[in-house]
Amino acid sequence: MLLKSLSELNGTSGAENLVRNFLRQTIEPFVDIINTDKMGNLIGIKNDSLSGPKVMLSAHMDELALMIIDITGEGFLKFRPVGGIDAQILVSKPVQINNSYMGVIGAKAIHLQKHTEGQNPLSCDQLYIDIGAKSKEDASSKVKLGDYAYFTTVFEPFGDGLYKGKALEGRVGCAILAELLQNDYDFPLIAGFTVQEKVGLRGAKVAAHHLAPDFAIVLEAIVADDMSDCAEEGWITELGKGPVCSFMDRSTLYSSKLIQWVTGVARQNGIPLQFPRGSGSGNDAGSIHISKVGIPTISLSVPCRYIHSFASVISEKDYQACYDLVNALLKELPNIFEGSSINFAKEDKF
Amino acid sequence: MDMDFRILEQLTQIFGPSGSEEQVAEFISAQIRPYCDEVTNDTLGNLIAVRHGTGKKIMVAAHMDEIGLMITHIDKEGFLRFTPLGGVRTSNLVGQRVKFNRGRMGTIGVEKIAKPSDFKLDKLFIDIGAVSQNEAEQIVRLGETAVFVGDFVEVGSRIMAKALDDRIGCFVVIEALKRSKSTNELVFAFTAQEELGTRGAKTAAYALEPDLAIAVDVTATGDTPKAHSMSVKLGSGVGIKVFDRSLITPPQIKRWMAAVAAERNIPFQWEVLEYGGTDSGAIHLSRGGVPSGVISIPTRYVHSPAEMVDSRDVQAAVDLLVSLLEHPLE
Amino acid sequence: MNPQLKDARDFLSLISIASGVSGYEFSIASLVREGFKEFSDEVLGDKIGNVYALKRGIKESNKKIMLAAHMDEIGLIVKKIDSRGFLQFTSIGGIDQRTLLSQEVLVHGNRAIPGIIASLSPHLFDKMESSQAVKMDEMVIDVGMPLAKIQEVIQVGDIITIKRQTYPLLNNLIAGKSLDDRAGVVAMKVCLEELSRLKHSHDVVAVATTQEEVGARGAITSAYALNPDLAVIIDVTHACTPDLKGQVTIDLGKGPAVALGPNIHPGIYGHLVDSAHFHRVPIQIEPIPGHSGTDAWPIQVTQAGIPTGLISIPLRYMHTSVETLNIQDVINSGKLLAYSIASLPDDLEGMLCY
Q: Does C118 touch chain A (CB under 8 A)?
A: yes
> In angstroms, what CA-CA distances link C19 with A92, B211, C28?
18, 28, 6
Residue contact C98–A112, C-beta within 8 A: no
Neighbours of C290 (CB within 10 A): 9
Residues 6+ apart with CB under 8 A from B156: none
Which chain C residue is nearest to residue B244, measuring alpha carbons? C92
Residues 6+ apart with CB under 8 A from B108: B93, B94, B95, B96, B97, B98, B124, B125, B126, B127
Of C49, C78, C224, which has the smallest distance from its Cβ to B287's Cβ?
C224
Q: Which of B285, B286, B287, B330 to mutate to test the interface with C (most CBs of C within 10 A)?
A: B285
Query: How close A2 gets to chain C, by Cα (Å)?
Result: 22
Query: How close C318 gets to chain A, by Cα (Å)?
Result: 5
Give C174's strand partners: C168, C325
Q: Does C87 touch chain A (CB under 8 A)?
A: no
pLDDT tens digits, one per residue of A207-256 = 999 999 999 999 999 999 888 777 777 788 999 999 999 888 888 888 88
pLDDT given for residue B1 in this prediction: 59
Q: Which of B231, B249, B256, B292 to mutate to test the interface with C (most CBs of C within 10 A)?
A: B231
CA angle A218, A221, A225 (to 5 degrees): 135
DSSP code for C316: B
Rg (CA), chain A: 21
Q: Are C86 and C94 in contact (CB under 8 A)?
A: no
pLDDT tens digits, one per residue of C247-284 = 899 999 999 999 999 999 999 999 999 999 999 999 99
- Chains A/B: 3 or more C-beta pairs closer than 8 A? no
End-to-end Cα separation, chain A, in angstroms: 37
Half-sphere exposure of A88 (CA within 13 A, CB side): 28
Give the distance between the most distant pair of CA atoms in chain C. 70
Is the confidence at residue A311, as pLDDT, over 80? yes
What integer best gives the mean pLDDT of chain B? 95
Coil, strand or helix: which one is A328? helix
- Mean pLDDT on A132-153: 95
Neighbours of B75 (CB within 10 A): 12
Give B243's strand partners: B248, B272
Is the confidence at residue B85, as pLDDT, over 60? yes
- Mean pLDDT on A261-284: 89
> In 3D, which of A104, A87, A84 has the Cα closest to residue A95?
A104
pLDDT given for residue B280 in this prediction: 97
Give A233's strand partners: none
Residues 6+ apart with CB under 8 A from B29: B39, B47, B49
Q: Rounded to whole angstroms, how far apart are CA atoms A165 and C162?
A: 16
> In angstroms, what CA-CA distances link A109 with B126, B212, B285, C265, C323?
45, 38, 28, 27, 9
Residues 6+ apart with CB under 8 A from B76: B132, B133
Please list the ranges in chain C whose pLDDT falls under 50: 125
Q: Rounded to whole angstroms, how far apart are CA atoms C38 and C43?
A: 10
Which chain C residue is nearest to residue B233, measuring alpha carbons? C80
Phi-psi region of C280 (alpha: psi -120 to 50; beta: other; left: phi over 0): left
> In 3D, which of C168, C214, C275, C225 has the Cα closest to residue C52?
C225
Coil, strand or helix: which one is B90? helix
Residues 6+ apart with CB under 8 A from C139: C89, C97, C100, C101, C117, C118, C119, C120
The contact set of C with B (CB < 8 A) is 22-24, 26, 46-49, 77-81, 88, 90, 92, 137, 155-157, 211, 214, 217, 220-222, 224-225
Query: Would strands C104-108 and C112-119 be described as parallel, antiparallel, or unpaired?
Result: antiparallel
* pLDDT band at residue A350 using 50, 70 and 90 as cut-offs: very low
pLDDT given for residue C284 in this prediction: 97
Please list the active-site residues of A. Answer: 197
What integer best gives the mean pLDDT of chain C? 95
Q: Rounded to whole angstroms, how far apart are CA atoms A18 and A8?
A: 10
* pLDDT band at residue A86 using 50, 70 and 90 as cut-offs: confident
**Domains of chain B by start residue, with CATH:** 5-66+162-326 (3.40.630.10), 68-146 (2.40.30.40)
Residue contact B248–C90, C-beta within 8 A: no
Neighbours of B20 (CB within 10 A): 21
Residue contact C320–A92, C-beta within 8 A: yes
**Domains of chain C by start residue, with CATH:** 3-73+177-352 (3.40.630.10), 75-162 (2.40.30.40)
pLDDT tens digits, one per residue of A52-68 = 899 999 999 999 999 99
- In one-letter notation, the amino acid at residue C322 is V
Buried b / exposed e over C306-319, threshold 16 CB at 10 Å, is bbbbbbbbbbbbbb
Architecture per CATH, A2-63+154-346: 3-Layer(aba) Sandwich (3.40)
Set of chain B residues whose Cβ sits within 8 Å of the Cβ of C139:
none
Is the confidence at residue A279, as pLDDT, over 80? no
pLDDT tens digits, one per residue of C108-137 = 999 999 999 999 877 554 555 578 899 999
Is the confidence at residue B50, as pLDDT, over 80? yes
Top-level class of domain A65-150 = mainly beta
- In one-letter notation, the amino acid at residue B73 is H
Residue contact B249–C224, C-beta within 8 A: no
Set of chain A residues whose Cβ sits within 8 Å of the Cβ of C127:
86
- Kindly report the length of chain B: 330
CB contact residues (below 8 A), chain C span 206-245, against chain A: 238, 241-244
Which chain B residue is nearest to residue C225, measuring alpha carbons? B288
Q: Rounded to whole angstroms, how far apart are CA atoms A305 and A311?
A: 9
Of B251, B274, B287, which has the smallest distance from its Cβ to C90's Cβ?
B274
Q: Rounded to whole angstroms, how far apart are CA atoms B68 and B147?
A: 4
What is the layout of strands, in order, in the sheet containing B153-155? B153-155, B158-161, B307-310
pLDDT tens digits, one per residue of B103-124 = 999 999 999 998 888 888 989 9
Rg (CA), chain B: 20
Residue contact B269–C46, C-beta within 8 A: no
Q: Are C295 and C216 in contact (CB under 8 A)?
A: yes
Residues 6+ apart with CB under 8 A from A18: A9, A10, A11, A99
- Kindly report the length of chain A: 350
E strand residue ranges, B75-225: 80-85, 97-100, 105-110, 124-127, 145-148, 153-155, 158-161, 185-191, 212-219
Neighbours of B245 (CB within 10 A): 14
> In 3D, which of B218, B177, B327 has the Cα closest to residue B262?
B327
Delimiting residues of CATH 2.40.30.40 domain(s) in chain A: 65-150
Residue contact A106–C322, C-beta within 8 A: yes
- In one-letter notation, the amino acid at residue C304 is A
Which chain C residue is nearest to residue A313, measuring alpha carbons? C144
- Chains C/B: 3 or more C-beta pairs closer than 8 A? yes
Half-sphere exposure of B38 (CA within 13 A, CB side): 11
DSSP code for B316: H
* Angle between helix B311-326 and B164-179 (nearest 10): 50
> In angstroms, what CA-CA distances link C260 with A211, A292, B84, C250, C286?
73, 75, 38, 14, 6
Q: What is the DSSP string of C133-201?
A: PPPGGGEEEE-S--HHHHHHH--TT-EEEE----EE-STTEEEES-HHHHHHHHHHHHHHHHHTTS--S
H helices present in C196-326, as ranges: 217-226, 266-278, 296-300
Delimiting residues of CATH 3.40.630.10 domain(s) in chain A: 2-63+154-346
- In one-letter notation, the amino acid at residue C317 is Y
Q: Rounded to whole angstroms, how far apart are CA atoms C317 and A113?
A: 12
Half-sphere exposure of B28 (CA within 13 A, CB side): 36
Q: Rounded to whole angstroms, how far apart are CA atoms B96 and B109?
A: 8
> In angstroms, what CA-CA distances link A230 with A44, A131, A233, C132, C135?
42, 39, 8, 18, 16
Q: Which of C212, C213, C286, C323 is catalytic?
A: C212
Is the confidence at residue A19, as pLDDT, over 80? yes
Is the confidence at residue A340, as pLDDT, over 80? no
Coil, strand or helix: which one is C241? coil
Residue contact A119–C130, C-beta within 8 A: no
pLDDT tens digits, one per residue of A161-182 = 999 999 999 999 999 999 999 9
